[in-house]
A and B are shown apart, each in its own frame.
Chain A
Amino acid sequence: MTQAEIKLCSLLLQEHFGEIVEKIGVHLIRTGSQPIRVIVHDTRTSLDQVKKALCVLIQHNLVIYQVHRRGMVEYEAQCSRVLRMLRYPRYIYTAKTLYNDTGELIVEELLLNGKMTMSALVKKVADRLTETMEDGKTMDYAEVSCTFVRLADTHFVQRCPLVHATENSDPGPPPPAPTLVINEKDMFLVPKLSLIGKGKRRRSSEDDATGEPKAKRPKHTTDNKEPIPDDGIYWQANLDRFHQHFRDQAIVSAVANRMDQTSSEIVRTMLRMSEVTTPSSAPFTQPLSSNEIFRSLPVGYNISKQVLDQYLTLLADDPLEFVGKSGDSGGGMYIINLHKALGSLATASLESVVQERFGSRCARIFRLVLQKKHLEQKQVEDFAMIPAKEAKDMLYKMLSENFISLQVTNNVIIINQQSWTRVRETPEEIPKTPDHAPSRTFYLYTVNILSAARMLLHRCYKSIANLIERRQFETKENKRLLEKSQRVEAIIASMQATGAEAAQLQEIEEMITAPERQQLETLKHNVNKLDASEIQVDETIFLLESYIESTMKRQ
């Protein structure tokens, strides 16, 4: 784990779970798998605090445990999972767009609590929805269950591994930690529950729909008295499925930007058809015939078969190679090149960063080197039509920031005059001459997309860490003012509830002076901007990480 990632994890843990959990979590990320005694010793926190922290981390799927020989349990932190906490708002928003408010709240509760049983989840979401509804209306459990089942069917939520129920043949001491197993088939299997009930409001109201007397209300959620029907079956959010959805979204919007709305709809249809047939890490989707695509187009789209074929041909011929033609049967078999698409998206991110950081002429050089793969200094000047001095300057700037790298070779190079590409390359080949004579050494600029993507990803982690730090600093600076304004708001709210006069409210509001109000406005504006920037950087992180992951899987 790089320092930047560890720093970011530390900030995220501290913001969401407090300092104690942060200390333990960061320690585990840094040092790897450790038993509890070592953690207690190294972090110099009390055993109870460490236990508390570990319980929280395990509950949220950030730490896993393993039983080693001699009954020792070791805990290991998952750094990449901690970084996913940045993306929680995006997951929740996606659930909202797909499954409305009910879906949104289900995913939100799952993310906030790490894992939950279906019954507990349904009750909680129903209660929350009831709060927002008009007086007298309540949310039925059945409706929430229905949405939950749909989420499970589309794999957005999945079961957590279950405690392995072993038959103890020898009555020895129970194991120090349970082993958790999950059957692939059961991962999305919803238990048959008959959850009957309605959401309850937190406030007491005379016309409570359930008709329960007030005295009985304290007894709810994790009851010790009633047996929970789906005891032991916990659910968590399936982040990979969300990532697949984001990836599909990115591809569709890229096609829409490059071509037009119709082509993006075609691509969206193809992706939707491949959701179940293709695993998310495959380099390309299963082939789909043009006839199938035509039948599966959304109902509103009435383009003729010929037009569809034309679009498909256009898409397949596009140099970006998002769509490929893999055969001619069934009117033409088409696939979506997922890996290539991710590569194009990552490259586009790199180009965009170069353009915004260094200017459009630099971007021109960057795109040139990208296209031609290897170029000498002189060639860059010629092709880019930029004066030598400037071109040199720009190349060095990009080189120093590692967007471009220099490849040294001393081979005799056979250059194809047509395309100016090197036919023989790599210094690892046995050179014709054993020495690195300067006259026969060639220095070529090239863009290594994978390493540039890694470098940019690292910068993104640093950026977000900086953004979070700055936001915390701004908030801390104005802490007094924030507290004061919160108090005043609370007073106003309670006074309004009791029906105070406007004059009194006015008086209270004036407790905050005009310059203070201005300061608060500025603070709010800054914090919003910083938060929005974090969200934006996280989108870039997602693209780069997906590309790197996809590339690593292929190697």
Chain B
Amino acid sequence: MASRGGGRGQGRGRGQLTFNTEAVGIGKGDALPPSTLQPSPLFPPLEFYPVPLPSGEEGEYVLALKQELRGAMRQLPYFIRPAVPKRDVERYSDKYQMSGPIDNAIDWNPDWRRLPRELRIRVRKLQKDRSTILVPKRPPKTTEYKEETIQKLETLEKKEEELTSEEDEEKEEEEKEEEEEEEYDEEEHEEETDYIMSYFDNGEDFGGDSDDHMDEAIY
């Protein structure tokens, strides 16, 4: 009943509203604001300048904490990096370049008793002499030799303590002022070759930083 009575003016003639506009404060003949024809701008201009952020010892300490935490969490084994997509052709330098985690293992040791059995997965060896909980779900896809080398690389990568001899080697190397790669440590620990990592730079990353066309010849 009520709706039928109230809907009398519905849609009959444009500009007719079902309520008395005066009650809401729009007087007769008042200019209404222009109707919007497009979505509001992405960065509308600010009318009032925002209040400055709190500064002071506490604020700065918490800020520093936040940034540290962010950095720290990236280094923890819980940060899972997606595997680097396989290149079209296997290259010799792949053996010595550190890509993401190749095999499907995790780097930390959860308490398997607390987790559902279906989640069990291989734990990567942290040290050569430790036994691992091996519950392989499928045979490793990579060849045996490559697997070994990569395991070795990753073992060395994960070594938690540096012995002094290795430290000296490192310092010696850095004094030569070679361009440092991110995976610097592994260069020195790699025992299979006398060459430094950048020797195997296959040039694929060169020029990749710039936005220039790759077709142009690079001299």
Contact = CB atoms under 8 A, between A and B. Distances in A.
Interface of A: 15-21, 36, 46-49, 51-56, 58-60, 65, 67, 73, 88-90, 92-93, 108, 112-114, 163, 174, 176-178, 180, 202-204, 214, 217-218, 222, 224, 232, 234, 356-359, 377-378, 388, 392, 395, 406, 434-436, 438-439, 441-443, 480, 483, 487, 490-491, 494-495, 497-498, 500, 508, 527-529, 531-536
A204 B164 contact: yes
Interface residues of B, number: 69
Contacts of B1: 434-435
A500 B175 CA distance: 9
Given A93-B61, A392-B26, 4 more contacts: A48-B121, A55-B115, A90-B62, A532-B54
A487 B179 contact: yes
B171 A498 contact: yes
B23 A531 contact: no
Nearest to A86: B66
Contact of A52 (B111, B121, B162): B121
A487 B74 CA distance: 18
A356 B50 CA distance: 7
B71 to A, nearest CB: 11
Interface stretch (B77-85, B86-94, B148-156, B189-197): B77-85
B2 A434 contact: yes
B37 interface: no
B164 A536 contact: no
A222 to B, nearest CB: 6
Given A392-B25, A441-B20, A443-B23, A497 B171 contact: yes
Interface string B115-127: 1111111000001
Contact of B65 (A89, A202, A494, A497): A89
Given A51-B119, A55-B106, A18 B24 contact: no
Interface of B: 1-2, 5-6, 18-20, 23-26, 47-48, 50-51, 53-54, 58-59, 61-63, 65-67, 69-70, 72-74, 76, 78-82, 104, 106, 109-111, 113-121, 127, 130-131, 137, 160-164, 170-171, 174-175, 177, 179-180, 182, 184, 209
Contacts of B54: 532, 536
Nearest to A395: B25
Q: Which 10 A-B pairs have the closest CB atoms?
A: A177-B116, A48-B104, A438-B20, A377-B25, A435-B5, A89-B65, A89-B66, A494-B174, A436-B6, A18-B80
Dominant secondary structure at the B interface: loop
A535 B23 contact: no
Nearest to B67: A531
B49 to A, nearest CB: 9
Contact of A177 (B24, B47, B50, B117): B117
A357 B50 CA distance: 8
Given A17-B78, A112-B69, A531-B63, A234 B5 contact: no
Contacts of B63: 89, 528, 531-532, 535
A388 B27 CA distance: 11
A526 B74 CA distance: 21
A362 to B, nearest CB: 10
6 contacts: A17-B73, A18-B79, A54-B119, A177-B118, A434-B5, A441-B19
A55 B113 contact: no
Given A176-B118, A438-B23, A494-B174, A232 B113 contact: yes
Given A51-B121, A54-B119, A495-B174, A59 B23 contact: no
Contact of B23 (A92, A202, A204, A442): A442
A202 B171 contact: no
A270 to B, nearest CB: 24
Contacts of B114: 163, 178, 180, 234
A286 B20 CA distance: 52
Given A16-B70, A442-B23, A491-B174, A532 B80 contact: no
B161 A218 contact: yes
Contacts of B61: 93
A51 B81 CA distance: 14
Contacts of A439: 20
Contacts of A222: 109
A444 B177 CA distance: 75
B85 to A, nearest CB: 13
